[in-house]
Amino acid sequence: RLHIVTWNVGTASPPPDVTGLLQLNSVGPAMDMYVIGLQEVNSRITNFLSDLAFDDPWSIFFMTVLSPLGYIKLSSVRMQGLLLLIFVKHVHLPFIRDIHTQYTRTGLYGYWGNKGGVTIRMSLYGHTVCFINCHLPAHMENTEQRLDDFEKILEMQFEEEDIPSTLDHDILFWFGDLNFRIADYGIHFVRESINNRRYNLLWEKDQLNMAKKKEAFLQDFIEGPLQFKPTYKFDLYSDVYDTSEKKRKPAWTDRILWRVKNLCHHTSKESELSEEEQTISVTLNNYISHMSYGISDHKPVTGTFGLEMKPLLSIPSVTLNPEGEWSAEHDVLISYSAVPEFPSSAWDWIGLFKVTFKHVNDYVTYAWVKDDEISSNNDSKQVYISAEEIPDMGGEFVLCYYSNNMQSIVGISQPFQIQPNRTLIEKDLAQEEINWRRKPDNPESHNEF
């Protein structure tokens, strides 16, 4: 289950609550992956430079919301106002490989990053998946420029030679503030059609729908029906369309489309896909806007998808477990084993993480698999972590094996408990008791005569 968000946030700060946006209260299984594409994230130079060194406020916000629910930030990429974040459930981490990011500037003839696209690609259970978050040129008359820019974004190659081109990925998701408008019709007709919920009257004049019929490189992209109000342009903190002097005509600027490679060559009903080619299917379960969010002049749009894929990768590269009972009072052992073809490295490490960890660098401590190894045989190996590095208060944790060659987590343990350091806790409690008795306002601290 995949949930994609696109939102032009208009340089605003995160809202107080995103439960509805992320469908956190929806009935049924939890999402497996969140893909969040934002446009117009505050990109003043001072903000941008600080965000390069530290996570930006939106990334921190979504990590704070999602990490307690068992998601970690898998990857992110930022280009000025464009931000793309991917969060995934812990259980899928060992089956995600070859994560790479890319960005393409198209603003000011490619010299300025206020427009363009940011991309994250990966291998998911052995299938290649690519996500592109775009912010294309504005204004009614710039349809051709929008199409040219997107074609340029599609043509950009990843630096590594063995990574397929964007259109050669098994699944490609394209979303963002694409800025396509409703042509020909006047503002009064458009608003009247919206008020009467007769959106179908506007579909044929939507510039993206028209372009998909003419442009060969767009024809394989699929979009769900636009059965929600155009998402641009609104007065802030309202569901009222633009009342400023410009009175912008409403438009579906914020869109989510997808493309499945194996379907592109089988468009006729007579064509039958072979069993090998039927390894992937994408189903759109929900395509909606969220009218309650008013921090910008755009309303966010989400698409909830079901991805069915025949796993080409079904067992983790590394299996690891904590040995015996773990306690902060003594050294501990980790046992692990790898599949025969696993390309291990001296720079691989095993991290100890809280179950609510936010990203791969959010470890409590770690052990180098070579330097801290204490035993090795054909079946398994052991590494140790000293007691000094174990959290005194204990709690619930997981172990993750990070592969330097693959640049990703390739194994994760089941959650387990670490027992607290009882001696230290008893000492702390005794000290607290002494401190309490010494307080001037504590009647027991005064001598009685």
Domains recognised in the chain with CATH numbers: 2-309 (3.60.10.10), 318-426 (2.60.40.2840)
Pairing of strands 416-419, 326-327: parallel
Residues paired with 375 in a beta bridge? 382
| CB proximity list for 109: less than 8 A, separation 6 or greater | none
What pLDDT score was predicted for residue 157? Answer: 80
Q: How far apart are CA 153 and CA 104, in angstroms?
A: 6
Alpha-carbon distances, residue 377 vs 142, 229, 315, 380 (angstroms): 65, 63, 21, 6
What pLDDT score was predicted for residue 270? Answer: 43
Longest CA–CA separation in the chain, Å = 103
Q: How far apart are CA 102 and CA 122, in angstroms?
A: 12
Angle, alpha carbons 228-39-93 (nearest 5°) = 90
Alpha helices in 284-397 (DSSP H): none
Angle, alpha carbons 358-9-193 (nearest 5°) = 130
What pLDDT score was predicted for residue 158? Answer: 83
- The answer to whether the predicted template modeling score (pTM) of the entire model surpasses 0.95 is no
What pLDDT score was predicted for residue 241? Answer: 96
pLDDT one digit per residue (tens) for the chain, 449 residues: 999 999 999 999 999 999 999 999 988 889 999 999 999 998 665 555 544 555 789 999 999 999 999 999 999 999 989 999 999 999 999 999 999 999 998 866 544 557 899 999 999 999 999 999 999 999 999 999 999 999 999 998 887 778 999 999 999 999 999 999 999 999 999 999 999 999 999 999 999 999 999 999 999 999 999 999 999 999 999 999 999 998 999 999 999 999 999 776 544 444 454 544 568 999 999 999 999 999 999 999 999 999 999 999 889 999 999 999 999 889 999 999 999 999 999 999 999 999 999 999 999 999 999 999 898 887 899 999 999 999 999 999 999 999 999 889 999 999 999 999 877 766 666 666 666 666 666 555 555 43
Judge contact between 69 and 19, C-beta under 8 A. Answer: no
What pLDDT score was predicted for residue 377? Answer: 84
